[in-house]
Amino acid sequence: MEVILLKILDIFLFIFVMYTFSVVSSYIILGIISTKETVSYFKKNSFVNYKNIMSSEDSPSISIIAPAYNESLNVVENVRSLLSNHYVNYDVIIVNDGSKDDSLEKLIAAYDLEKIDYLLNEQIPTQPLREGVFKSKNPAFAKLIVVDKENGGKSDALNVGLNISTSKYVACIDVDCLLLEDALQKLVKPFLEVTDSKVIATGGVIRIANSCVIKNGKMLEINFPKKMIVRTQILEYLRAFLLGRMAWSRLNGLLVISGAFGMFDRKIAVDVGGYDVKTVGEDMEIIVRMRRVMEEKKIKYRVFFIPDPLCWTEAPESYKILISQRNRWTRGTIETLKKHRKMGLNPKYGKLGMISLPYWFIYERMAPLIEVVGLIYFIVLIYMGGVHWEYAITFFFLAYLFTVLFSLLAIFTEEMTYNEYKKKGVGFKMILTILLEPFLLHPVILYAAVRGNFDYYFNKNKKWGVMVRTGLKKEDS
């Protein structure tokens, strides 16, 4: 009996060592690819003249689709900022998803809206309209379309937007994000520039706006927040976007475009059936599905990622909200991977099936579980008195140093390119954040991911986590 148990523990040890080793090597490879790609993107784009594209009426049409649910507090201001993007040929479709507050009334009053007759081509089935479709009587707001519909959730609202839009491209965003005024030009660029394959979607970096000063829909002052919980998230985002997604974009293996800010070829998005209303991970799911269809049709395609800081959003400032957000992300990932499991390790789906999906499964989906099993294993060992402490401590030390170095690489990439946190003294705070993050943020995220797994399997009725908004800080208004 004892012998068998020891054998099992040995096998466990072997698996953990191999897993850790492969994680470390994949991070190193992705990190190197990303850094190179980000710096090269930055260099290439310092020469671009966007002026002609933004003012040309021959530029392709774009619709911004922004679903709004009970956003009465900020909706008028946010729409105003969406209307002032530097691009000629675009419209803004605000989908009021059955809000129970006075969002619609406020929009009607602020933008002089009137109801119009509209023959809706319901290419994607959705919840019915409630008050209908509105446009402004004032030519200054000619770009604005407001749709009022019965509540159906974010995906359903986005689908209504897809049905209404007649543009070539759609930019799906969260209404409470701050989009910088050159966001559309930059996001549409890969669609227009790539000539050897079909670009189906582009996504951008999400930056954290807490503590920043925003005025008139314009970023006036970028500050490094005081709260450690936000600081660690900034670090986490920089690592994920500048070191992770950039590499996957280079390898054409990107599986996620943040729901907060992404652009799609409308026809393709509609043809694959729009957003899935049954998942909480709709932003990842639609990309995987679009890729799947392209693979099945054997069309050469690309998904691009833009490192420019174009979209700023508010990050949770309390652990409770952070945990519920990550819980939701975890369930979204599980649902998407499960729905598309057929493609995993299926050579018919090329790189998508053989590399991206398995990687995502092993290193994103399974990572928290493996970590937890590892912890339990360690505790069992302690209990049995089988821990070689000198090994354990050296391993721990090594892992910590590696994490810290990887974070430092992300910070270096950021400093050498966009260098958004210019103020004096922030450098030291960043290093401090790097050193503390493994102890402060990581356990919370691990916990949230485990909770997500638990809720997914044992608590099916789990509702959407509610994000309590504190509102982007504005200097006036």
Which residues contribute to the site for other proteins (CB under 8 A)? Answer: 43-44, 47, 49, 51-60, 80-81, 83-84, 86, 88, 117, 119, 121, 123, 138-140, 142, 181, 189, 191-196, 216-218, 390-391, 394-395, 397-398, 401-402, 404-405, 408, 411-412, 415-416, 419, 422, 424, 426-428, 430-431
Q: Which string of b and e fits 220-253 if b means at least 16 CB within 10 Å?
A: eebebbeeebbbbbbbbbbbbbbbbbbbbbbebb
CB closer to other proteins, 188 vs 322:
188
Amino acid at position 206, single letter: I
Please report, to the nearest 10 degrees, the dihedral formed by the alpha carbons of residues 44, 50, 51, 53 taken in order. Answer: 130
Question: Least distance (Å) from other proteins to the CB of residue 51?
Answer: 7
Separation of CA 137 from chain center: 35
Please report, to the nearest 10 degrees, the dihedral formed by the alpha carbons of residues 325, 329, 331, 336 taken in order. Answer: 160
Question: Least distance (Å) from other proteins to the CB of residue 244?
Answer: 20
Question: Least distance (Å) from other proteins to the CB of residue 204?
Answer: 18
* Selection from 308, 199, 307, 183 nearest residue 243 by Cα: 307
> Residue 339 CB: number of other CB atoms within 10 A?
17
CB closer to other proteins, 373 vs 435:
435
Question: Least distance (Å) from other proteins to the CB of residue 447?
Answer: 27
CB closer to other proteins, 391 vs 457:
391
Distance CA 134, CA 144 (A): 8
CB closer to other proteins, 272 vs 323:
272
Question: Least distance (Å) from other proteins to the CB of residue 324?
Answer: 33
Start-to-end CA span in the chain (Å): 72
Residues 168 and 266 sit within 8 Å (Cβ to Cβ)? yes
CB closer to other proteins, 89 vs 336:
89
CB closer to other proteins, 235 vs 323:
235
Amino acid at position 237, single letter: Y
CB closer to other proteins, 121 vs 318:
121
Question: Least distance (Å) from other proteins to the CB of residue 347?
Answer: 29
Distance CA 220, CA 475 (A): 9
Q: Which string of b and e fits 445-459 if b means at least 16 CB within 10 Å?
A: bbbbbbbbbebbeee
Residues 452 and 56 sit within 8 Å (Cβ to Cβ)? no
Question: Least distance (Å) from other proteins to the CB of residue 121?
Answer: 4
CB closer to other proteins, 111 vs 241:
111
Strands in 301-313's sheet, in edge-to-edge order, are 113-116, 129-136, 144-149, 90-97, 62-68, 169-173, 261-265, 198-208, 301-313, 178-179
Question: Least distance (Å) from other proteins to the CB of residue 43?
Answer: 6
CB closer to other proteins, 81 vs 336:
81
Question: Least distance (Å) from other proteins to the CB of residue 426?
Answer: 8
Question: Least distance (Å) from other proteins to the CB of residue 333?
Answer: 31
Give the 3-state DSSP-derived string for 234-278, with helices as H, strands as E and coil as C: HHHHHHHHHHHHHHHHHCCCCCCCCCCEEEEEHHHHHHCCCCCCC
CB closer to other proteins, 158 vs 411:
411
Q: Which string of b and e fits 170-205 if b means at least 16 CB within 10 Å?
A: bbbbbbbbbbbbebbbbbbbbbeeeeeeebbbbbbb
